[in-house]
Amino acid sequence: MRHYLPPSFRSPLTHAAIIAGTIAALWYPVDGSILDALLQRLPPPYRSVANHPDRYNLQIIYTQIDRDARNRPHFNHFFYRVDPKEYFYPASLVKLPVAALALEKINTLGIQGLSRRTPLRIDNALDCPAGYGWSDTASVESSIRRMLLVSDNGAYNRLWEFLTRDYANSRLKEYGYGGIRLLHRLSACGVLQNRVNNPVRFCTENGKTLYAQPRTISRLSDDNPLAPVTMGSFSYFNGMLLPRPFRADNLNYAPLESVHRFLIEVMFPAAAGSGSPLRLSAGDYRLLRTWMCLLPRESGMPEYVPDNGYADNYKKYLLFGDGTHPCSASVREFNVVGRAYGFMSDVAYFADFERHVEFFLSAVIFANEDDIVNDDQYEYEAVALPFFSALGAVVYEYEKTRYRRHRPDLREFAPLLPVRKGNR
């Protein structure tokens, strides 16, 4: 198996992990083949996916973390079939960079009285059913909470309007994430409608406008960097089965390694080099981390309870996805997920606060046995979730036995509980 090593991971910092001399290394070589070995430890029912990785468009990134005597993290990355030229639809994976950029934009505006909790209003100037969500007075913070907690699309669309397409992509490029391309809302809007960002206003409780942003029209290309690109062998459109692949030229693009690296920098800002390039406060980072790891019932929002379909593992796919391993207070997954068109993805940092274990694990799979895209007939529950759960379990069990010279202090990642109720 050939293992692609993205240029962004080739740095002295990322290969400074302390691995030599460990007992585990006798069984798992310190190179890309460690993932091959771990995949062979999957129970037979799940090993079939790993035995046919091309069929399932399988990509995996596993990052070991070793702390030094000062608790500073050092990383060692392993890649399995990771290739930025193999397109997959990222779906909600794009919510993490959008959340971070929205917080940063609030900070850089520098307007007195304007904060991430200031009510944000959208002036809908389009005939586009963007579905902004639950409240006319939602803020950047409340939108981020719902985006990261239950992957709310309306909350994403609000922040998409605030950022604008050109600004978001420009900032990502400046920060070294030019591989990510954000082209559209997560709603039924056409290509031409997604070129336009609606006007937005931030207002005080008594209605005073603190900041008004006019309607903007994007100059960015409507195509993602891999265009022309297709998905599947057949497509479903307007109730008809078409004997041709689904065209994905105008869909968002986010390589797995880019989102994986973005999460590393959110969890460990110093990993960006000389400090994080994102202009975020300690409170901003705390917000992102907390709402990536909280379970719906811990949110303080009464609508997000198991009786309404929001189980503990609602958006926890790796390790917890099929319910075999119940979510717990001691083992937390800080993550962002994607699920659409047959693709399922999870980009995650795991922290076991009792055993002092931590690692990053990201994966994407195409669970679409009939290879028909856009018919809403996918094998998420039958194939994707069981495989993701088994993959997470195998890596987690290995991490529990892996030698570490220094025990990590994980207290900075402990979520704040309970969370205060309310939209803002």
**Backbone phi, psi, residue 377, to 5°:** -115, 90
Q: Is residue 24 part of a domain?
A: yes
What pLDDT, on the 0 to 100 scale, is given for residue 246?
95
- The CATH code of the domain that includes 24 is 3.40.710.10
- Three-class SS of residue 202? strand
Which structure tokens are listed for 359?
């690692």
- Under DSSP, the state recorded for 370 is T
Q: Is residue 158 part of a domain?
A: yes
Rounded distance between C-alpha atoms, residue 384 and residue 364, angstroms: 9
What pLDDT, on the 0 to 100 scale, is given for residue 414?
86
The helix (run of H) or strand (run of E) holding residue 401 is helix 385-401
Q: Are strands 120-122 and 200-203 parallel, antiparallel or unpaired?
A: antiparallel
CA angle 50, 51, 57 (to 5 degrees): 55
CB contact at 8 A, 360 and 63: yes
On the 0-12 / 13-18 / 19+ scale of CB atoms within 10 A, 360 is: buried
Q: Is residue 2 part of a domain?
A: no
Q: Is residue 267 part of a domain?
A: yes
Q: Is residue 419 part of a domain?
A: no
219-224 contact pairs (CB < 8 A, 24+): 219/166, 220/165, 220/166, 220/169, 220/183, 222/183, 222/191, 222/194, 222/195, 222/249, 222/250, 223/249, 223/250, 224/87, 224/181, 224/183, 224/248, 224/249, 224/250, 224/251, 224/252, 224/253
Rounded distance between C-alpha atoms, residue 137 and residue 118, angstroms: 8
State pTM to two decimals. Answer: 0.90
What pLDDT, on the 0 to 100 scale, is given for residue 326?
93
Q: Is residue 232 part of a domain?
A: yes
56 contact partners, CB below 8 Å, separation of at least 6:
49, 365, 366, 367, 383
Which residue range forms the structural domain that includes residue 187?
7-413
Give how far Cα 156 sits from Cα of 93, 227, 256, Å.
11, 24, 20
93 contact partners, CB below 8 Å, separation of at least 6:
254, 259, 336, 337, 338, 345, 347
Q: Is residue 84 part of a domain?
A: yes
Q: Is residue 1 part of a domain?
A: no
Q: Structural domain tally of the chain?
A: 1
Q: What does each of the 424 residues of the chain score in pLDDT, given as a tens digit?
A: 434 444 444 333 333 332 222 323 333 344 557 999 999 999 998 988 999 999 999 999 999 999 999 999 999 999 999 999 999 999 999 999 999 999 999 999 999 999 999 999 988 766 675 667 666 668 999 999 999 999 999 999 999 999 999 999 999 999 999 999 999 999 888 999 999 999 999 998 888 999 999 999 999 999 999 999 999 999 998 889 999 999 999 999 999 999 999 999 999 998 766 556 789 999 999 999 999 999 999 999 999 999 999 999 999 999 999 999 999 989 999 999 999 999 999 999 999 999 999 999 999 999 999 999 999 999 999 999 999 999 999 999 999 999 999 999 999 998 765 445 444 4
What pLDDT, on the 0 to 100 scale, is given for residue 132?
72
